[in-house]
Structure 1
Amino acid sequence: MTASPGASRNSAPSAVPYIERGTPEFWRASLALLFAGYATFSLLYCVQPLLPAFSETFGVSPAQSSLSLSFTTAALAIAIFVAGFVSEGWSRRGMMTASLCASSLLTLATAFVPHWHQLLVLRTLQGIALGGVPAVAMAWLAEEMHPDGLGLSMGLYVGGTAIGGMAGRVITGIVTDLFGWRAAVAVIGVLGLASMFAFRSLLPPSRHFVPKSGLGFAHHRAALLRHFARPGLPMLFAMGFVLMGSFVTLYNYIGYRLIAPPYHMSQAAIGAIFLVYLTGVVASPWSGRMADTFGRGRVLIASLALMLTGVVLTLFAPLAAIAAGIACLTIGFFAGHAVASGWVGRLAREAKGQAAALYLLAYYLGSSVMGSIGGHFWTGAGWGGVAGLVIVLLVVGLALALKLRARERAGAA
């Protein structure tokens, strides 16, 4: 029998059953959060293949064009941090539903703006609106899923983000070639609204979380300090910065390389490259399952090594080598993110929404900061400069992963 949402008010946490892996409720919840992950990433990254189109339409440089993504991810990073605090007093499902609805409507509005600065304002507001999804989704999974299935369920959620990232880019590229970038952005907004309705209808009510009223600043500050004092968590926060910063930097500027000589690729053809995101759909749940079985540290190290291999491959001229490199980077990114985000939920002993928010704050700051810095490396040193920047970042991440693995082997993480 399914426990009612109010069961946790009157029952000890141990008496309230978790959602077991393989049950119908597990798959309903996983599908609901897959829709949430899809909507979040498709709405967030639909502009990424449009950066060259923005440069042409609005007469802005590549670095300026990247602000259409960097402003959104920076606003999202801040909004996620705030949501991590606010979510302790709100309904998890209600907050995620409102965020998906507002961000979808703002995406539709973006399709009609006539001026560059108006587009940037709407994209910034969209980042704020999306803040109520990622950290709350991670917290919901950490609270409601049985620990034996957390790696798989987190991997399925991250797989949904992979589908969203792919669809946002591929659909945008195809529709842009046929009808222009404005029509493409509008289509993504409509699909976001449809995903919101699917998410709302599928997600089961919370069993292990009851909104808490009257939590003051002192409570949140104390919880925040405990997260940073918890061994291993700060390294995982830094890992989020590394993973997303390197991933977005490469994807931001690969379009500029492929649209130029000697490749001369169209927007639709560049968008088709993002079909490699489908590998992330498989890699995320698979890596989560492997982490549950063989240890998180091992899988995280392998993921970063694969990302490094991918970046090196993109330095070669043949298109096949570039495509293989993008595939390796994508698989490694989604595998690493699934492991790191799930690890945060396991290490955080309290205020899991706040812990997830700290991880995602660093994650999206990596996207915003490194994604824009990469534009200056592209302008000054071409693709070699962009690849070199990403390689340095991934080497730092590999060092962090080795330390986390050592703690895990010692039984400390």
Structure 2
Amino acid sequence: MTKTKNKENNAASEVNAGAYIRIILALALSGLAELASLFFIQPLLPVLAIEYEVPVSQVSIILSAETAMLAIGLLFTGTLSDHYGRKRLIIVSLLLGGVLTILCPLANSWALLVTLRAVIGLSLSGIAAAATAYISEEVAPVVAGIVTGYFVFGNSMGGMSGRIIASQLIDYVSINTIFYGFAVSLILVAILVKFLLPASRNFKPTENLNVLCVVKGAAAHFKNRHLSLVFVISFIIFGVFTSLYNYLAFFLKGEPFNISHANAGLISFSFALSFFTAPQAGRLAEKYGSMNVLRTLFAIMALGMLLTLVNQVVIFIVGAVIFTACFFGCHAIGLRWVSKNATHARGQAVALYLFFYYMGGSLIGFINGFVFHATGWHGMTGFIIALLVVAAIVATSLSGSEQKRPMAVAPMK
């Protein structure tokens, strides 16, 4: 009898392990395709500024438009995922993003291209909120932080591959060809997610999409101090990260570095470190407390920014790499924190976190264009470090009650 039970337990473990592998692959691929299709435009900013005769201080508006509409879309797509389901929303978002990206080569003006990219940001807004909520519902709490870390790793690989591929191709192919390539990748990943991602077992759809109920639900999340303060942190972390990569190529092109746009784009290879830093941050957060780990990461990010002030290319790269590696750890902790502390409508809660996250990238990234133009890299570095100090203060205000308040987690069924 005992042997039979052991065999059944071993078989169940194998099934769970196989399901988790499929979940990690499907969600990591969806995050990869999403971020690659959004941020391949970033290393092309200097080229776009010349081609469309756009001032350097304003060219980042195309990326800000993407992230702003992505953020706004999250106000609705989180709720849609609570009603229609996580997997369905991920697939539809990927397909819609692919179709719209195919249309980009038809844009014959800067205003039209910016508008189309903004709509693409809106179409892809359903992926992150639905994926994070799926993890909280379908993955055992003990490993949910690690799985979330690998989803963030997929995001980082998307941001990395999009930036690197575009930066290396632009000297050999047209921008239109690059658009077509990323469009195809979105459609292919949608097909893979359809077959890879297991159907939800623990998802309970909301009964209706009443706007008043949605607003009341969002208001309740803001009243939850453990969520509202983390929204502030999310706004800052992606804002400072976007600022670094928006203007890095402009800075390295000048004296004393004289590095080409293609070579500057290679710094994005540092995103691969998220394979270690994102899951490891989740492990450390479970052991030492999320906010304690966040404060440490913020301090290290500030050190990384200070290293970029040294006029030696190797030290500059080390500083940028340190900053980047810590950023992905911060994001993994933030996502998991929201999922654990949401008392209802988890998809909407994650969506609100991501709304502030992407709005930070949009607004702070755009503002730093003027800071960089007016005060140079030194002034922008000072502004970034000041924002990190604010984030650390917010994290400190949350750390005192972290161990006192039991976390709400979704039970496995």
TM-score normalised over the length of structure 1: 0.92
SS of equivalent to 1:72: helix
Cα 1:280–1:139 shift into 2, 3 Å: same
Q: Hey, what does 1:304 align to over in structure 2?
A: 298
Q: Of 19, 23, 33, which aligns to 2:17?
A: 23
Q: Of 337, 340, 345, which aligns to 1:343?
A: 337
Q: Is the 8 A contact 1:39 1:196 kept in 2?
A: no
Q: Distance in 1 between matches of 2:186 and 2:227?
A: 32
Q: Hey, what does 1:207 align to over in structure 2?
A: 201
Do structure 1's residue 63 and structure 2's residue 66 form an aligned pair? no
Do structure 1's residue 328 and structure 2's residue 347 form an aligned pair? no
Q: Distance in 2 between matches of 1:187 and 1:262?
A: 35
Q: Hey, what does 2:128 align to over in structure 1?
A: 134
Shift of 1:21: 11
Cα 1:30–1:402 shift into 2, 3 Å: same
Q: Hey, what does 1:192 align to over in structure 2?
A: 186
Alignment of 1:9-408 (within 5 A): 23-408=17-402
Shift of 1:181: 3.2
Cα deviation 1:351-386 (Å, max 9, x = unaligned): 001100110110011001001001001110111121
Shift of 1:309: 1.1
Cα 1:211–1:366 shift into 2, 3 Å: same
Cα deviation 1:190-214 (Å, max 9, x = unaligned): 2222222222221111111133333
Shift of 1:112: 4.4
Shift of 1:349: 1.6
Q: Count how many residue pairs are aligned between Structure 1 and Structure 2.
A: 396
Q: Is the 8 A contact 1:19 1:144 kept in 2?
A: no
Shift of 1:87: 2.1
Cα deviation 1:146-172 (Å, max 9, x = unaligned): 111110011010000010010000001
Cα deviation 1:98-156 (Å, max 9, x = unaligned): 11111122223224433111110110110110111111111111111111111001101
Q: Distance in 2 between matches of 1:287 and 1:245?
A: 20
- The AA in structure 1 aligned to 2:300 is L
- The AA in structure 1 aligned to 2:125 is G
Q: Is the 8 A contact 1:20 1:26 kept in 2?
A: no
Q: Is the 8 A contact 1:148 1:292 kept in 2?
A: no
CA RMSD of aligned residues (A): 1.8
- The AA in structure 1 aligned to 2:83 is G
Q: Which runs of 5+ in 2 are unaligned?
A: 1-11, 408-413
- The AA in structure 2 aligned to 1:238 is V
Cα 1:88–1:189 shift into 2, 3 Å: same
Shift of 1:173: 0.6
SS of equivalent to 2:171: helix
Q: Distance in 1 between matches of 2:56 and 2:13?
A: 46
Q: Which moved more, 1:63-72 or 1:173-182?
A: 173-182
Shift of 1:412: 6.2
SS of equivalent to 1:232: helix
Q: Which moved more, 1:317-326 or 1:188-197?
A: 188-197
- The AA in structure 1 aligned to 2:239 is G
- The AA in structure 2 aligned to 1:227 is H
SS of equivalent to 1:63: coil
Taking every aligned residue pair, what percent have the same amino acid on both sides?
Answer: 33
Q: Is the 8 A contact 2:102 2:179 kept in 1?
A: yes
Q: Distance in 2 between matches of 1:21 and 1:327?
A: 38
Q: Distance in 2 between matches of 1:203 and 1:316?
A: 46
Shift of 1:396: 0.5
Cα deviation 1:300-343 (Å, max 9, x = unaligned): 11221121111111111111111111111111110000001101
TM-score normalised over the length of structure 2: 0.92
Shift of 1:22: 6.7
Cα deviation 1:247-275 (Å, max 9, x = unaligned): 00111001101122332222321121110
Q: Which runs of 5+ in 1 are unaligned?
A: 1-17
Cα deviation 1:5-43 (Å, max 9, x = unaligned): xxxxxxxxxxxxx99997111111011100011011111
Q: Which moved more, 1:265-274 or 1:32-41?
A: 265-274
Cα 1:21–1:58 shift into 2, 3 Å: farther
